[in-house]
Amino acid sequence: MKCAKCLILLTTVAMLLSGCRRGEQQFSQTYFEAFDTIVTLTAYAPDRARFDRIASAFSARLNALHAAFDRYRPHPGVNGLYALNAAGGQWVEVEPELYDLLLKCREWSAVGGERVNPALGNLFELWRQFRDAGVGVPSREALEAAASHSDFSALELEGGRARLRDPEVTLDLGAVAKGYAAGLLGELVSGMTEYYLIDAGGNVVAGKKPGGAWRIGVQNPDGGDVPMVLNLADTSAVTSGDYQRYYEVDGVRYHHLIDPDTRMPARFMRQATVIAGNSGYADYLSTLLFLSPPADALALAERLEGVEAVFVLNDGTIQRTSGVGGLVSG
């Protein structure tokens, strides 16, 4: 398995030396324990002690969100996604953040239908096992069997409680959880400083930046030079691509973004980047658009209010929504 960051903070020596505002300095802290990715907090503060207080609160919230959304292992005292999946169809009083995200997934499905289906957890797990092993691909019979219990309407929500009416359904929130968590972390940090940037493995939440916007490079799917730069302030950006988590068999790349129709990794494009105010919504849309034919993806992104998108197609060409404007350079 290979995992690569999709969005890259572009810094220069001049920025680091002149980044002060009213005596504030830029500090960064990186975290490795949550969401199977690297999370970096960059913020301005008057001194290291003040930043450390921000970073400590950030760390506690990050770990709590990871525990709520982790489907792979239990967390003592936490009724998160693992507990819901393991409840055998019984009602569970789930963590408030999980309950809210499940409600959001229902709401967002009005945009994407079943293209982004959190109930395909069994299918995603089958592909993960092959990806971790790095050899072979699942048989058609195995793929169909894994997808046989995948009705998202089996999820029932009521007053902070949740249950899966079909106990063989497994929920997986990998398409939305990181972005949603990054948004909640942004709300936390913005209460302590308005000048910050959060990068959760390609899910970026940008506050203000002294002197202008944060410059974020979008990774080239084939490596090499950064093909475009996002200029972000008070918004979010998320990139989905076929180079994040993948393995190769006989020269064919099998990545982690699965087309619900074919049960196979999607082949419509190389990369989809979405810019939107809500980080969880941007995460959802980046997956949805990546799983859609380019013409359909572009048309949908153009229709959505407050959403801009950039796509790298299979032939390397780049398509953008008409409102991208100064948000993207290159």
Superfamily of domain 81-164: ApbE-like superfamily (1.10.3980.10)
pLDDT at 328 over 50: yes
- Break the chain into its structural domains and give their ranges: 7-66+176-329, 81-164
- Is 6 within 8 Å of 290 (Cβ atoms)? no
What pLDDT, on the 0 to 100 scale, is given for residue 13?
Answer: 29
What pLDDT, on the 0 to 100 scale, is given for residue 7?
Answer: 62
Residue 96: exposure state from Cβ atoms within 10 A (0-12, 13-18, ≥19): exposed
Radius of gyration of the chain (CA): 20
CA 103 from centre of chain: 17
* Percent of the chain with pLDDT strictly greater than 90: 83
Mean pLDDT of 293-318: 96
d(CA 185, CA 59): 9
Per-residue b/e over 206-243, b at no fewer than 16 CB within 10 Å? bbbbeeebbbbbbbbbeeeeebbbbbbeebbbbbbbbb
What pLDDT, on the 0 to 100 scale, is given for residue 269?
Answer: 97
For residues 96 and 224, the model is more confident at 96
If you search the block for the tokens 């289906």, which residue do you land on?
Answer: 117
- Structure token digits, residue 309: 């998108």
Contacts of 99 (CB under 8 A, 6+ apart): 157, 160, 162
pLDDT at 286 over 60: yes
What pLDDT, on the 0 to 100 scale, is given for residue 209?
Answer: 95
Q: What is the 3-state secondary structure (H, E, C) of the chain?
A: CECCCCEEECCCHHHHHHCCCCCCEEEEEEECCCCCCCEEEEEEECCHHHHHHHHHHHHHHHHHHHHHHCCCCCCCCCCCHHHHHCCCCCCEECCHHHHHHHHHHHHHHHHHCCCCCCCEHHHHHHHHHHHHHCCCCCCHHHHHHHCCCCCHHHEEEECCEEEECCCCCECCCCCCHHHHHHHHHHHHHHCCCCEEEEEECCEEEECEECCECEEEEECCCCCCCCCEEEEECCEEEEEEECCCCEEEECCEEEECCECCCCCCECCCCCEEEEEECCHHHHHHHHHHHHCCCHHHHHHHHHHCCCEEEEEECCCCCEEECCCCHHHEEC
Tell me if 7-66+176-329 shares its fold with 81-164. no
Q: What is the mean pLDDT of the chain?
A: 92
What pLDDT, on the 0 to 100 scale, is given for residue 22?
Answer: 61
What pLDDT, on the 0 to 100 scale, is given for residue 329?
Answer: 77
143-191 pLDDT, tens digit per residue, is 999 999 999 999 999 999 999 999 999 999 999 999 999 999 999 999 9
pLDDT at 330 over 80: no
d(CA 99, CA 157): 8
pLDDT at 303 over 50: yes
Instruction: Work out whether the CA dihedral 171, 276, 204, 129 comes out positive or negative.
Output: positive
Instruction: For domain 7-66+176-329, say whether CATH 3.10.520.10 is its number.
Output: yes
What pLDDT, on the 0 to 100 scale, is given for residue 18?
Answer: 38
Mean pLDDT of 254-281: 97
